[in-house]
A = this chain, B = another copy of it.
Amino acid sequence: MKFYDCAMAPSPRRVRIFLAEKGIKIDTVQVDLMTAENIQPAYLKINPRGIVPALQLDDGTLIDETLAICQYLEALHPEKPMLGTDAKSRAVITSRTLAMEWDGFLRASEAFRNSAPGFGDRGIPGLGGITAIPALAERGMAGSRRFIDTLDGMLGKSEFVAGTSFSLADITALCVVDFMGWLKVTPTDSHPNVQRWYRSVSSRPSAAA
């Protein structure tokens, strides 16, 4: 089993935190997004979608998308469950994890990839030749601010993003909030619930991953 990672990237960090929480070590290969190594032929041969994180099984099967990778790892290492323990908690964690991706990651990524120098033709993860759209960067910035507001409302109702225990939804939200920090969108005093939650999840040893 081989984990394709990029140490500076917010998206594969979710898998790194998941592994750290579980105390699992796996063979890791760094793919440098900054130099666009992910869209060079060598990596596209491994993952035609050109994205990290990706997990390659020993039989060659390629699994990308964080949720799928973590689902596989959780099946292999069920102790300390982070994807739920029954039908309802599993569905709620999946639902909230994907909400963090669509309402958070996507917005931050729109803002970052359509404005950052060096990403001028990489407006979509995994692809080259996608010209930046400045209006989309602006829409992504507004969406990022909206995300922090929404997350605050959510965390006013429960201790963690998907209920009473730490899950992949929290890992995803933490990586989104830190990604939004690059854009200078940060929780303020008007987001007391995000601040309380952030202090808790960011002080777990896994957050260093």
Q: Which residue of B lies closest to A74 (CB)?
A: B87
Copies in the complex: 2
Contact assessment for B130 and A48 in the assembled complex, using a CB-CB cutoff below 8 Å: no
Q: How many Å lie between the Cα of A62 and that of B91 in the bound state? A: 10
Q: Does A45 contact B (CB under 8 A)?
A: no
B-binding segment of A13-21, A28-36, A133-141:
A133-141
Bound complex: CA A133 to CA B135 (Å): 7
Given contact pairs A130-B139, A139-B130, A49 touches B99 in the complex (Cβ within 8 A): yes
Tell me the minimal C-beta distance from A15 to chain B in angstroms. 13
Measured between alpha carbons, how far is A158 from B87 in the docked complex, in Å?
30
Contact residues of A with B, CB < 8 Å?
Answer: 48-49, 57, 61-65, 67-69, 71-72, 75-76, 87-88, 90-92, 94-95, 98-99, 103, 106, 123-124, 130, 133, 135-136, 139, 143, 150, 153
- On chain B, the residues within 8 Å of A48 by CB distance are 150, 153
Q: Which residues of B contact A136 (CB under 8 A)?
A: 133, 135-136
Q: Evaluate whether A68 and B87 lie within 8 angstroms (CB atoms) in the complex, with A130-B139, A133-B139, A135-B136 already known.
A: no
Q: How far is the CB of A209 from chain B (nearest CB, A)?
A: 21
Residue of B76, B94, B130 near A71 (CB, 8 A) is B94
- Are A71 and B90 in contact, CB atoms less than 8 angstroms apart? yes
